[in-house]
A and B are shown apart, each in its own frame.
Chain A
């Protein structure tokens, strides 16, 4: 049983005109097996929250804390956070020229497992993970995310989620850009990871359609750098019907 605890998190970014505060005190607790959906308008800071937890160098933490099972996440390097059990499926997965998917996955698995996976079982493992997400085996020899379509990049993220078996996953708009079939395939991948690893999930999305597949236990409304309302799954339907006007008007 793991707990990711975010307390009063304040984050700013450096711009040409000085530092701008984006997150203005975020409180959120996610436990193993729970799924929390975050919905909120463009630019409200959802990706900033995701990146800050993962340790992206662009963001400066100006206040608050993030702990995983009591350990100070903000004090860890990016790779240490992954080793502690955090995973971020990115809104815009990055292309890494010249690095093959298979080399990348093996390097990551070696780092996270503390030893290189046995070659024979590993090949089968990767093949299985790719098949599960309907990815052609030829992706293994392609360069990481290079030339992948938007949907292929997202599948590749969830394939890594299944392969690397984190404790807590943040999915930043994994559903954006997916066709109806891919949405189902990707959702099933997330649900398998939940079932197999008792994964805790923070799911950032704009649409309720993914919530039909991945059932949230909690829905949080994010606006202007913080959580402004919390509720159960029906809150998502209310948002879809009414938009965010109630939360951003002030």
Chain B
């Protein structure tokens, strides 16, 4: 796959990878016309625990990308915000990285690296708030035996445009778990991608998204089983409410011929809360070997369950509160995986607020 042929090739919207994305709303992030501001908005929220460091340095990319925007970022930016966890460090408290100082009159191109040394254990929570134009190339490297919970929160205001690739390279016996939450922004397009480099690696990609009137949220997974005996799980849940709310979930899982003993399952469930919204859900499993433990996918799109609402209301709960309970309940399974009460409650309140605003 040649970098040169894709670099600076402007997508038209007809390409498979861009066919759902409203390119006109990307403020020129895709074609190079965006005015790039001089921002390095990613900061650590509190002091870092022992065994962790946060620096800006020049780093070569971990992995090639065929995404045009990622190539543009790499062409422009050499400085990488790098959170590094020492080998054998076991950090219990989550490490918060926050993006402050956004802007809409210029764009930020950002490269981020999170790296874990061998047998390191950590939780990293990246918070995206406010309004901004942001294109991000975020790469994660998990050395052998390490374990990372990576939480990425898109809590943008209503005008943000965010395009990103979150790419994890997972080494032998390492465990990668990501929780991707998208509840704000005008256009959000995230490519959560994983490649396994040695047997025994595992990845769990979890996510929730809630799009209301006019919002476009796309999550385009790619899990590459290029080694034997790796395991992957994908579970994304989305809700939509209001006119022209549009979400896209693509689950590409590739099991290469060498990847014997692969165990994979991917799931996407969508809840359409009003008319006029659209959820695209495309699981795509490519299997090149039959010698696997398991491979499956499921995708469902449904509406409010009248029986659930009736049951709750028959106990005196108003329709509005019953809907809120059902939506919270729908997301709860994934949100609780974050493991931080404060963040979880903040997200649930945001979800309540979105629901109310959408009048669903």
Report A's interface with B, CB cutoff 8 A: 54-58, 77-79, 81-83, 87-88, 90, 93-99, 103-104, 107-108, 111-112, 143-144, 160, 164
B129 in contact (CB, < 8 A) = no
> In the docked arrangement, what's the CA distance between A109 and B317, Å?
9
Stretch at the interface among B5-13, B95-103, B307-315: B307-315
Residues from chain A with a CB closer than 8 A to the CB of B312 are 96, 99, 104, 107-108
Residues from chain A with a CB closer than 8 A to the CB of B306 are 57-58
Chain B, interface SS category: helix
A97 touching B330 by the CB < 8 A rule? yes
| Among B310, B315, B319, B321, contact of A56 (Cβ-Cβ < 8 Å) | B310
Question: A-B pairs with CB below 8 Å: how many?
Answer: 84
Residues from chain A with a CB closer than 8 A to the CB of B42 are none
> In the docked arrangement, what's the CA distance between A81 and B317, Å?
10
B310 touching A57 by the CB < 8 A rule? yes
A94 touching B307 by the CB < 8 A rule? yes
Can you name the residue of chain B whose Cβ is closest to the Cβ of A88? B314
B290 in contact (CB, < 8 A) = no
Residues from chain A with a CB closer than 8 A to the CB of B310 are 54-57, 78, 94
Residues from chain A with a CB closer than 8 A to the CB of B321 are 107, 111
Can you name the residue of chain A whose Cβ is closest to the Cβ of B324? A107
User: How many residues of chain B have a CB within 8 Å of chain A?
Assistant: 23
B318 in contact (CB, < 8 A) = yes
Residues from chain A with a CB closer than 8 A to the CB of B307 are 94
Residues from chain B with a CB closer than 8 A to the CB of A104 are 312, 315, 325
7 new A-B pairs (CB below 8 Å) besides A78-B310, A81-B314, A87-B314?
A: A56-B310, A78-B313, A94-B311, A96-B325, A97-B330, A107-B312, A112-B315
| Among B308, B317, B325, B328, contact of A79 (Cβ-Cβ < 8 Å) | B317
B37 in contact (CB, < 8 A) = no
Q: A96-B308, A99-B326, A104-B325 are in contact. Are A111 and B332 (CB under 8 A)?
A: no
B333 in contact (CB, < 8 A) = yes
Closest 9 CB pairs of A and B: A98-B329, A98-B332, A108-B315, A82-B316, A78-B313, A94-B311, A111-B316, A99-B329, A112-B316
Residues from chain A with a CB closer than 8 A to the CB of B325 are 96, 99, 103-104, 107
- Cross-chain pairs A/B with CB under 8 angstroms, 5 sampled: A55-B313, A81-B314, A97-B330, A107-B325, A108-B317
> In the docked arrangement, what's the CA distance between A93 and B307, Å?
9
B196 in contact (CB, < 8 A) = no
Residues from chain B with a CB closer than 8 A to the CB of A164 are 315-316
B326 touching A96 by the CB < 8 A rule? yes
B319 touching A54 by the CB < 8 A rule? no
Residues from chain B with a CB closer than 8 A to the CB of A99 are 312, 325-326, 328-329, 332
Q: A98-B329, A104-B325 are in contact. Are A111 and B308 (CB under 8 A)?
A: no
A79 touching B318 by the CB < 8 A rule? yes
> In the docked arrangement, what's the CA distance between A54 and B331, Å?
29
A54 touching B314 by the CB < 8 A rule? yes
Residues from chain B with a CB closer than 8 A to the CB of A95 are 308
| Among A55, A58, A82, contact of B315 (Cβ-Cβ < 8 Å) | A82
Residues from chain B with a CB closer than 8 A to the CB of A96 are 308, 311-312, 325-326, 329
| Among B311, B318, B332, contact of A93 (Cβ-Cβ < 8 Å) | B311
Nearest Cβ distance between residue B30 and chain A, in whole angstroms? Answer: 37
Residues from chain B with a CB closer than 8 A to the CB of A93 are 311
> In the docked arrangement, what's the CA distance between A78 and B321, Å?
13
Q: A94-B308, A96-B325 are in contact. Are A111 and B317 (CB under 8 A)?
A: yes
| Among A58, A79, A98, contact of B316 (Cβ-Cβ < 8 Å) | A79
